[in-house]
């Protein structure tokens, strides 16, 4: 692919939360190869700066910013900087997230609060901060959910609920912003290799081992998901499900919810114990 040389007058502008690793990093590099200006944000400033350097080397033009999705003031600082340095924004990606496993009963309320505050409310805060600027450019909002939002498999209750909330949030914003010309994409990938387990909280060791196993077996990579999201934004498509098996499962659930429930219950029996 031919790299484009960034131009301060013509380059498109994207901001990505949690871009210091994993899918966020792959998205940053994907857009960098197209010559975009990329705001690389992460909770860890060192990771954000490192990926910003990679973006520059890949043909983009990066800024690095420390951002905690639990703090509205961090989003405000990011958007103020983008306004000052770039004059606007074309794409905003709510990507930062954490993971956990456990049933409704077994998961401590503290972990429920932690999960919802970061994975769901983080996306709410990001959307609220970015949408006024995206309206100006008739830009695009991307939310990273998960196939867990659709499957709702037992043993992952808090994660399922948070990601289902992100999916519903995306549907709501899609309707609310249609008249403003803002596009919305929500990505619902299944398991793929990433560093999401760095933040994992679970109620037993078996759960973490099972998730690690599923990640190792995945045939879809973070780069694949990033490419799918890039194409969906370009084509203004709403739902991205990168895994072929997951796309069939999505159709299966819509066609026969009870049979889908039975299949999921049997498939996750070892996970839930």
Catalytic residue among 31, 159, 230, 250: 159
The pLDDT value given to residue 116: 98
The pLDDT value given to residue 5: 40
For residue 51 the two structure tokens come to 């990926």
**pTM here?**
0.89
The pLDDT value given to residue 95: 97
Residue 230 annotated as catalytic: no
- E strands, the chain, are 13-16, 37-42, 61-66, 91-94, 140-144, 183-187, 239-240
The pLDDT value given to residue 1: 35
The pLDDT value given to residue 197: 57
Angle at 96 between CA 92 and CA 98, to 5 degrees: 160
Distance, in Å, from the CA atom of 143 to the CA atom of 185, rounded to the nearest integer, reads 6
Digitized pLDDT (tens) for each residue of the chain, 273 residues in all: 333 343 443 589 999 999 999 999 999 999 999 999 999 999 999 999 999 999 999 999 999 999 999 999 999 999 999 999 999 999 999 999 998 888 999 999 999 999 999 999 999 999 999 999 999 999 999 999 999 999 998 888 999 999 999 999 999 999 999 999 999 999 999 876 666 656 666 666 666 556 655 555 667 889 999 999 999 999 999 999 998 898 999 999 999 999 999 998 888 776 565
Burial of 223 (0-12, 13-18, 19+ CB in 10 A): middle
The pLDDT value given to residue 198: 63
């Amino acid at each position: 692919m031919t790299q484009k040389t960034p131009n301060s007058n013509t380059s498109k502008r994207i901001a990505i939360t949690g871009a210091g690793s994993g899918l966020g990093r792959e998205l940053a590099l994907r857009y960098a190869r197209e010559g975009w200006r990329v705001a690389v944000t992460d909770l860890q400033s060192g990771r954000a700066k490192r990926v910003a350097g990679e973006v520059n080397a890949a043909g983009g033009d990066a800024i690095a910013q420390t951002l905690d999705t639990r703090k509205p003031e961090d989003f405000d600082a990011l958007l103020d900087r983008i306004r000052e340095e770039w004059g606007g924004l074309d794409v905003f990606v709510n990507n930062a997230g954490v993971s956990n496993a456990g049933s409704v009963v077994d998961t401590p309320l503290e972990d429920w609060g932690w999960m919802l505050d970061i994975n769901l409310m983080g996306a709410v805060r990001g959307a609220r901060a970015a949408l006024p600027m995206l309206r100006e450019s008739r830009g695009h909002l991307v939310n990273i959910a998960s196939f867990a939002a659709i499957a709702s498999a037992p043993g992952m209750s808090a994660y399922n609920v948070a990601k289902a909330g992100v999916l519903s949030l995306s549907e709501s914003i899609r309707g609310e912003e249609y008249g403003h010309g803002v596009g919305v994409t929500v990505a619902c990938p299944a398991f793929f290799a990433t560093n999401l387990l760095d933040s994992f909280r679970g109620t037993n060791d078996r759960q973490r081992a099972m998730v690690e196993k599923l990640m190792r077996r995945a045939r879809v990579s973070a780069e694949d998901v990033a490419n799918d999201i890039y194409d969906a934004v370009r084509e203004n498509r709403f739902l991205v499900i990168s895994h072929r098996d997951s796309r069939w499962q999505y159709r299966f659930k819509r066609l026969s919810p009870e049979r889908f429930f039975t299949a999921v219950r049997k498939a996750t029996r070892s996970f839930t114990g």
